[in-house]
Amino acid sequence: MREERDIRLSDLTTMRVGGLAQRLVTVDTTDELVDAIRAVDDADEPLLVIGGGSNLVISDEGFAGSVVRIATGGITIESSDPEGGATIRVAAGEVWDDVVVRAVAEGWSGIEALSGIPGRAGATPIQNVGAYGQEVAQTITAVRVWDRREQQVHTFDNADCGFTYRHSLFKAESRYVVLDVVFQLRLGSLSAPVAYADLARALDIEVGERVPLEDARAAVLDQRRQRGMVVDPADHDTWSCGSFFTNPIMSANSYDELQSRAQTRLGAADNLVVVPRFDTPDGLVKTSAAWLIERAGFGKGYGIPGPAALSTKHTLAVTNRGFAAAADVVALAREIRDGVRDVFGVSLVNEPVLVGLSL
């Protein structure tokens, strides 16, 4: 366990904004993690838990309390057989993409489409991380946490995690700190059925077909790089939290109202505007936040040459052009949210966690 004072939080996040941490404790084992969290709570101090910092926007004032940085590691194979697949336990501080690399190398199928996502494994159930037709809720069997209220370790089965689109019980409840995550993955050299149309096209296959795990990973990384979604210190398009807004989910009636409004605002009698529509299993409709942002007048690179701007590669990413403050990031995100609401009547919801900030 290492304790430091007055550390720049901007150095610990992929958005690269944030003031000083009054106190930073870095933990390397699960026991240290529990001890550090317990000590902060016993002292009744404010607590901020950081893993890879890929989903945080921290205020320029920093954090007046204790920041616990999770650097635990380890992937343990708990069982492996052709029928049950591989059951693996992953420490919260394990770099997520390293987990995917290991899965591809071992012939564990089910998370290959989540290649290139920054951050640590412990954050994946919190956000129900997903991309290219996969999400971790499909393969997580259990999440072990430290319950800050009860001061004890507790294990949640998948059904009790409250997984929904980019959300979970753990995101809604700050009382739980993830210690490790158990995944159950299929054994084999082929990917899970490819569910994302753009990825299928890139692989020259039909949606639902399988490809070698290595090919799936390579194609996903290529897609992410094209969108500026693979962290590269030399590329300001990747100084971001990835997608800043979640795709809106609404009732079928609300979608019809959105479609009518979009046609009125953007279309003409002989030019039908079609708002993207993806029906969900529970009868709701998901649409594209990127489509709404662009059609509301915020194109790629919007805000350049300012300190914060939309990525030149993807309209969903709010980026730091190298000299942005947290206030600049939030101001741009607020402008985009309000602009989309004015044009389409839809309120976009931020995906990253805002610390000491609000839209």
- The active-site residue out of 166, 217, 227, 295 is 166
Answer yes or no: 351 catalytic: yes
DSSP for 259-300, written as a single string = HHHHHHHH-BTTB------EE-TTS-EE--HHHHHHHTT--T
- The active-site residue out of 32, 243, 311, 337 is 243
> Phi/psi of residue 41, each to 5°?
-65, -40
What CA–CA distance (Å, rounded) separates 73 from 91?
5
Q: Using alpha carbons, select from 345, 312, 286, 67 the residue that is nearest to residue 166.
A: 286
> Phi/psi of residue 45, each to 5°?
-100, 155
**N residues, the chain:** 359
Spell out the residues 6+ positions from residue 62 whose beta carbon is closer than 8 angstroms to its own: 9, 18, 19, 20, 21, 22, 356
Token couple for 143: 């999440």
What CA–CA distance (Å, rounded) separates 196 from 132?
5
> Phi/psi of residue 294, each to 5°?
-65, -45
Active site residues: 166, 243, 351
